[in-house]
């Protein structure tokens, strides 16, 4: 039996938390407790997508075979038409370009989670369902050689302890809230009121200025409503000023998935007035698109209702770590979904952090320094991914500065050229997800750890 070098509590069993648990469970000297607020780990939910950069990490975990078997679209590195790009906010639409990229793997989130749970070793990882963290206390070092553990409190009145706490609890993270409350209190006590204010602003998610409508319905409905609709055959993006609609066939072509982004970046960071998510009736959606070309209107004539989400993101954080506590995944950097890299960034956090924690030089007393290395490497990168996702959202909704389409002109050459420029920029802004790997960052992190002596 291996001696335990430290205990880790992971709060949240989404993609971030489960990936970290899988990566850490390869190290028998690390004891893991995984706390999940929901009573089931496999809530029916959205799809998630992985680009080649993330898939290469999954391969390192040896998960390519089980994950390939549950992928909705299997791994395919050959370039293919990802999207047809069409400007459609007038009665007559215009084909602009095709976006050609390597394929993205897509999964139902519960299928992905199930594969990860199957990898966990029951000897080193204990999963606790229906345990919602409400707060933690991290006792500061006293004079004694060994530090008291972090105290965790849950909404059922129970409590627990750990040497290291990881917040993988998503956009509305409790760990992030407690961490920045603690940072703010310290700044306040030291008379740094601006720092305290800044820390408190890191707690609440911010409205991005975007609302998204989502609907799924049988493909047969669409073919009855609009014969040979292009979305029955190929993924298409319809764009217009402030708006982007992505539509593609799913479930082997039997269903159609429609997602519409309505953006008003002037409202970014203002409070959203209304429910974060609600069902909206068909006439509300049809009204939004009543001046668009007929094939777009047909997409919404088939949807009796759609859900409308007010898309919130994480504020850019000054740190992902504080002493023995760290944030990963959406808790650290929930971003706009317009590059499809939220799950991939969660996987990168987990992989890099697990590499550092599992290193033989890492001990209970070096944990704060190890987390600093994680923060130094991962935060700028994830922050850049957030910025790129936002830029792509602006490009898609034709609101990117210098590339807007505000004036009602005819489709002349200039406009076509500008639309081609939009497509080109989207692709350029995105290609890091298939042309780069995390390996260099891993080497840099391990090097920093080794140099700590």
* Residue 72 found at the interface with ligand FAD (CB under 6 A): no
Q: List, in order, residues 6 or more apart from 14 with CB less than 8 Å away.
A: 109, 113, 168, 170, 329, 330, 346
* Residue 346 found at the interface with ligand FAD (CB under 6 A): yes
Nearer of residues 209 and 342 to ligand FAD, judged by Cβ = 342
Stretch that binds ligand FAD, among 14-22, 272-280, 300-308, 439-447 (CB under 6 A): 14-22
Stretch that binds ligand FAD, among 30-38, 138-146, 404-412, 416-424 (CB under 6 A): 30-38
Site track 163-202 with ligand FAD (rule: CB under 6 A), x = hit? -----xxx---x----------------------------
* Residue 114 found at the interface with ligand FAD (CB under 6 A): no
Binding-site size for ligand FAD (CB under 6 A) equals: 31
Q: Are strands 321-322 and 325-327 parallel, antiparallel or unpaired?
A: antiparallel
* Residue 309 found at the interface with ligand FAD (CB under 6 A): yes
In whole angstroms, how close is the CB of 341 to ligand FAD at the nearest point? 8
Nearer of residues 147 and 172 to ligand FAD, judged by Cβ = 172
* Residue 110 found at the interface with ligand FAD (CB under 6 A): no
In whole angstroms, how close is the CB of 155 to ligand FAD at the nearest point? 8
Provide the token pair at 175.
């760990």
Among 10, 13, 215, 438, binds ligand FAD (CB under 6 A): 13
* Residue 55 found at the interface with ligand FAD (CB under 6 A): no
Nearer of residues 90 and 278 to ligand FAD, judged by Cβ = 278
* Residue 334 found at the interface with ligand FAD (CB under 6 A): yes
Among 8, 9, 16, 21, binds ligand FAD (CB under 6 A): 16
* Residue 330 found at the interface with ligand FAD (CB under 6 A): yes
Among 136, 342, 355, 422, binds ligand FAD (CB under 6 A): 342
Binding site for ligand FAD (CB under 6 A): 11-17, 35-38, 46-49, 132-133, 168-170, 174, 309, 311, 329-330, 334, 337, 340, 342-343, 346
């Amino acid at each position: 039996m291996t001696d335990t070098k430290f205990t880790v509590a992971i709060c949240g069993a989404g993609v971030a938390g489960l990936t970290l648990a899988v990566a850490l469970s390869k190290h028998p000297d690390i004891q893991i407790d995984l706390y999940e607020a929901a009573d089931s780990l496999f809530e029916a939910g959205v799809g998630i997508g992985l680009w080649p950069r993330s898939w290469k990490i999954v391969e390192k975990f040896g998960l390519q075979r089980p994950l390939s078997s549950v992928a909705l679209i299997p791994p395919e590195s050959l370039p293919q038409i990802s999207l047809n790009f069409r400007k459609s906010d007038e009665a007559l639409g215009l084909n602009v370009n095709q976006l050609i990229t390597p394929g993205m793997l897509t999964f139902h989130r519960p299928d992905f989670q199930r594969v990860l749970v199957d990898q966990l070793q029951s000897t080193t990882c204990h999963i606790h369902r229906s345990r919602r963290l409400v707060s933690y206390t991290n006792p500061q070092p006293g004079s004694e050689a060994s530090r008291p553990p972090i105290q965790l409190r849950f909404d059922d009145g129970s409590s627990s302890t750990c040497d290291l706490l990881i917040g993988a609890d998503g956009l509305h993270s409790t760990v992030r809230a407690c961490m920045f409350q603690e940072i703010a209190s310290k700044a306040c006590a030291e008379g740094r009121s601006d720092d305290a204010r800044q820390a408190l602003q890191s707690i609440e998610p911010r409205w991005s200025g975007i609302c998204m409508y989502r609907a799924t319905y049988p493909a047969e409905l669409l073919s009855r409503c609009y014969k040979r609709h292009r979305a029955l055959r190929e993924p298409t993006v319809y764009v217009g000023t402030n708006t982007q609609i992505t539509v593609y066939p799913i479930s082997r072509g039997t269903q159609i998935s429609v997602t519409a982004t309505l953006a008003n970046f002037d409202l970014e960071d203002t409070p959203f007035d209304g429910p974060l998510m609600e069902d909206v009736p068909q006439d509300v959606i049809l009204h939004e698109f009543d001046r668009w070309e007929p094939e777009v209107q047909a997409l919404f004539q088939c949807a009796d209702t759609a859900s409308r989400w007010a898309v919130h993101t994480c504020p850019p954080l000054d740190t992902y770590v504080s002493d023995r506590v760290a944030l990963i995944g959406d808790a650290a950097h929930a971003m706009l979904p317009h590059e499809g890299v939220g799950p991939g960034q969660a996987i990168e956090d987990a992989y890099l952090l697990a590499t550092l924690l599992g290193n033989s030089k890492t001990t209970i007393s070096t944990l704060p320094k190890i987390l600093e290395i994680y923060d130094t490497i991962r935060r700028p990168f994830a922050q850049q991914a957030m910025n790129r996702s936002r830029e792509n959202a602006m490009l898609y909704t034709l609101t990117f500065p210098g590339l807007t389409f505000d004036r009602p002109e005819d489709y002349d050459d200039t406009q076509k050229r500008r639309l081609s420029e939009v497509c080109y920029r989207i692709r350029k802004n995105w290609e890091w997800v298939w042309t780069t790997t995390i390996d260099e960052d891993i080497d840099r992190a391990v090097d920093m750890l080794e140099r700590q002596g």
